[in-house]
Chains A and B, each alone.
Chain A
Amino acid sequence: AQTVTQSQPEMSVQEAETVTLSCTYDTSENNYYLFWYKQPPSRQMILVIRQEAYKQQNATENRFSVNFQKAAKSFSLKISDSQLGDTAMYFCAFTLNDMRFGAGTRLTVKP
């Protein structure tokens, strides 16, 4: 079964700066999908960004971008121009048949 590892339990960043959250995964498959989800204190799960493994181009959504390294099985999330509203838990996820999540990184954006 695929596994997802987030090695940074907590991170902090100053408002307006850039931060990168790390994620690695393990699979023997070639075609799969990767996601980053955000969970603010409201507990709601919100999709941040999605990446298809067959696409070499890194996905970008406004201030959020990924660095997808397929050979290294790495999928990091970069948040540019951090805002106070970015404070949340961030989960990396992998899907093939079902969806598996990492343990999460708690990000705090400081004013």
Chain B
Amino acid sequence: NAGVTQTPKFQVLKTGQSMTLQCAQDMNHNSMYWYRQDPGMGLRLIYYSASEGTTDKGEVPNGYNVSRLNKREFSLRLESAAPSQTSVYFCASSEPTWSGGGTGELFFGEGSRLTVL
């Protein structure tokens, strides 16, 4: 019962370095999401992919890029990390309500704590 798996769980970067957060789900969900969580601000949507082959910006997309590699995998890339990107990142997947039978419920990974020095 893997569900949503994201790696790495912890990462420390220096300003200007790049990295990719990986996410995979085994529930055959159409939609996948990347959120960041900062104290007092809840979860803010960075990017999402409603279905394989599509990606859309969320609330805070600047400084990030995503790739929906296939139906299972959705990666998040920081090209030039900045201290403002220090956060906990969550990947999630869902079967959307428009897919006929989907509940829209998000299933989350365990989170990745990223620190940019």
Question: Is the pairing of A and B real?
Answer: yes
Residues of A within 8 A of B (CB): 1, 6, 9, 33, 35, 37, 43-45, 47, 50, 91, 93, 95, 97-104
- List chain A residues, Cβ under 8 A from B59: 1, 100
Total residues of chain B contacting the partner, CB 8 A: 27
Bound CA span A93–B94, Å: 14
Contact of A45 among B40, B90, B103 (CB under 8 A): B90
8 tightest CB-CB pairs across the interface, nearest first? Answer: A45-B108, A103-B42, A101-B43, A101-B42, A33-B104, A95-B104, A98-B48, A104-B42
Cβ of B41 under 8 Å from chain A: yes
Total of A-B residue pairs, C-beta within 8 Å:
57
Q: Which of A9, A47, A50, A98 has the most CB of B within 10 A?
A: A98
Cβ of B50 under 8 Å from chain A: yes
Residues of B within 8 A of A (CB): 33, 35, 40-45, 48, 50, 56, 58-59, 88, 90, 92, 94, 96-98, 103-106, 108, 110-111
Q: How close is B64's CB to chain A, nearest CB, in angstroms?
A: 15
Bound CA span A95–B59, Å: 14
